[in-house]
Structure 1
Amino acid sequence: MSQNQTENTTQPESLVQIRGLYKKFNISGDFLDQLKFKGGKIVREQEHVHAINGVSLDVHKGEALCVVGESGCGKSTVARTVMGLLTPSGGTISYRGERIDHLDDKALLPYRKKMQMIFQNPYASLNPRMTIGQTLEEPVRLHNPDWNAQQVRDKVHEVMFSVGIDPSWADRFAHEFSGGQRQRISIARALAVDPEFIVADEPISALDVSIQAQVLNLLMDAQEKRNLTYLFITHDLAVVEHFGTRVAVMYLGSLCELAPTKTLFATPRHPYTKALLSAIPRLQDDRPEPIKLTGEVPTPVNLPSGCVFHGRCPYVTDRCKQEIPKLITTSEGGQVACHAVEEGRI
């Protein structure tokens, strides 16, 4: 334990702090839709999708923290809530120790320059009515109102060149580019204001496999040259192994496991993480059989009691069904939320 504590003291500073984050979406419809007739009385019933349930994370300066999990586990909701595109239902989000989740648009403006986002779909995230030059100039002008036109153009040309896009293409529209080129333009837009923190929400999942490696390498080069910090959302574990500094595993809106990348892939502790990693295709004759989980993923509308994974876990006990597990530090230096690990059963 003392070794882990020593390692923690030498870690980079915490850039983004997420504490007890909750997000739920009301799916009850309007007021009249919520009224039901039960037991001779009119009652109002509301239903919510519980997308994030008490997630706490620190993003360290200079790292690439990857958030993984299957579709619907809340990865993208975490990304959008951190960026202020969604308002949290509970918990706090802080940047360099300053709370930002409750700020209005004007108060958030200085943080917008430091925090940028790359979206999943480059076909939808670029304005089809604006040229690439206009798309890239807009954030530069917004965040640098004292710059003249030549300074703005020089910045746009510099950032286009840095992502492998010819500056002479600035007068073209988004539809004239391929998917990979559009994503490069999206990355250029994020880099144009010289941020220090970037949220990348599955930035390569909409691209051809042959282009994915190029875009990943571009992100890694930008991180090295610009000292960027990434919160990287993905479901591709091969990308995580290549790109991530640490990995956070989510299931049904809850954080299951958090560990350095090498530690997680070498010694996964949570039963869900083990099943997830066992599904990675490997070209090995002696590789173990993939772990087959039984049961269905519960609905986020009616969350199960206790551990959200207990319905599919082979190590489930009565405690798992009743008590929500808390993150505990493991001997390998990671954190895991599992009663079976805490009790030494696995």
Structure 2
Amino acid sequence: MTATMTAPAGETAAPDTTRPLLEIRGLEKRFSLSGDFLEQLKFKGGKLIREQKRVHAINGVDLEIQRGEALCVVGESGCGKSTVARTVMGLLHPSAGEIRYDGQRIDDLSTQALMPYRRRMQMIFQNPYASLNPRMTIQQTLEEPIRLHHPDWPRQKVADKVAEVMASVGIAQDWGKRYGHEFSGGQRQRIAIARALAVDPEFIVADEPISALDVSIQAQVLNLLMDAQQQHNLTYLFITHDLAVVEHFGTRVAVMYLGRVCEVAPTATLFATPRHPYTRALISAIPRLEDDRPQHIRLEGEVPTPVDLPSGCVFHARCPHADARCREEVPALIASDGGAQVACHAVEEGRLD
């Protein structure tokens, strides 16, 4: 490994508040559809050739997350937002690009070198019915990460920490003896949040943590996450497809389409003055009880497949403002008004206000 740790194992250097907590540069992730080497060999035209097909899930994503903020990543299903989350957490290895945490590159670290960052970075998964081990009691579930990261702690100290984190998320102490299947979806997600908070992280990736819950429970869990952010000074990477949640929860918003970031902006700016054509279509689709709500923008055409990506801007086939440059040249994220960044040739050239 070429990367080295900047602090001894188990310790962290003093944070530099002037730089982003997380930096993603040129991130790409491809999944093979062709199987192993022998399965890739095909006879075509009397010749033996090697045919490889890949899903291009992420295609050159650049993002920064500042300390204390909640960056929401939105987009339709299949746009790559959950893949970004899992790659950031090291559950998937990137095909290209870099991920830096607090200035240190982490995507190429060994498992042992990554352990101090595992404690600082935690994840809340989408499905609370699948993310809890059915063979473990809630007490065991919450003790496991503490024992992993603090093997020298005595039993009583671990038990006290579990009791503290359970109380912080509104979990009754008698839940500890029960198993995950005995709880509702909202209760399980509270347990999952408690598990993430058990090791005192500073950064949490939440991958659609409320989408599997009833609407009546979603607000409770969302408020719990916001309270935890205030109490523990957390930074969030929040993955969602619900724009109403984004408007309520997010500090900034990144809009993704087919593995690329279209627009990044502060939440208020994005909802007041969306710049990218795709963002405008998304915002216009939000149900609102207002007389002056924006007219719904209906996009024509189908979403291209991530197996055969279109040339140029990935949105050009559905964009009413696309021209020859859009079909040939990939747009870069450029600074716009109000602290926003937009990847659109039409905005750059002034063809789209």
Alignment size in residue pairs: 336
1:158 is matched by which residue type in structure 2? E
CA distance in 1, matches of 2:337, 2:151: 51
Cross-structure match for 1:5: none
Q: CA deviation at 1:33?
A: 2.1
1:238 is matched by which residue type in structure 2? A
Secondary structure of 1:332's counterpart equals helix
Tell me the TM-score normalised to structure 2 length: 0.94
Cross-structure match for 1:195: 201
Q: Is 2:279 the counterpart of 1:273?
A: yes
Kindly, what percent of the aligned residue pairs are identical? 76
Matches within 5 A, 1:1-346: 13-346=19-352
2:335 is matched by which residue type in structure 1? T
CA distance in 1, matches of 2:110, 2:18: 29
1:68 and 1:248 in contact (8 A); partners too? yes
2:351 is matched by which residue type in structure 1? R
Q: Which runs of 5+ in 2 are unaligned?
A: 1-16
CA distance in 2, matches of 1:258, 1:288: 20
CA distance in 2, matches of 1:323, 1:215: 42
Secondary structure of 2:318's counterpart equals coil
1:12 and 1:62 in contact (8 A); partners too? no
2:140 is matched by which residue type in structure 1? Q
Tell me the TM-score normalised to structure 1 length: 0.96
1:118 and 1:201 in contact (8 A); partners too? yes
CA distance in 1, matches of 2:225, 2:314: 34
CA deviations over 1:11-36 (Å, ceiling 9, x no partner): 96410110000000001122232111
Q: CA deviation at 1:146?
A: 1.2
CA distance in 2, matches of 1:146, 1:288: 58
Secondary structure of 2:317's counterpart equals coil
Secondary structure of 1:311's counterpart equals helix
CA deviations over 1:123-171 (Å, ceiling 9, x no partner): 0000000000000000001111111000000000110111111012101
1:269 and 1:341 in contact (8 A); partners too? yes
1:215 is matched by which residue type in structure 2? V
CA deviations over 1:185-213 (Å, ceiling 9, x no partner): 00000000000000000000000000000
CA distance in 2, matches of 1:168, 1:143: 25
Q: What is the root-mean-square deviation of aligned Cα atoms in Å?
A: 0.9
1:14 and 1:60 in contact (8 A); partners too? yes
Cross-structure match for 2:7: none
Q: Which runs of 5+ in 1 are unaligned?
A: 1-10
1:12 and 1:61 in contact (8 A); partners too? no
CA distance in 2, matches of 1:12, 1:136: 34
1:120 and 1:202 in contact (8 A); partners too? yes
1:321 is matched by which residue type in structure 2? R
1:82 is matched by which residue type in structure 2? V
1:28 and 1:48 in contact (8 A); partners too? yes
CA distance in 2, matches of 1:331, 1:307: 22
Q: CA deviation at 1:264?
A: 0.3
1:54 is matched by which residue type in structure 2? G
Runs of 4+ in structure 1 over 4 Å off? none
2:68 is matched by which residue type in structure 1? G
Q: CA deviation at 1:331?
A: 2.1
CA distance in 2, matches of 1:36, 1:309: 32
CA deviations over 1:30-68 (Å, ceiling 9, x no partner): 223211111211001000000000001111000000000
2:19 and 2:103 in contact (8 A); partners too? no
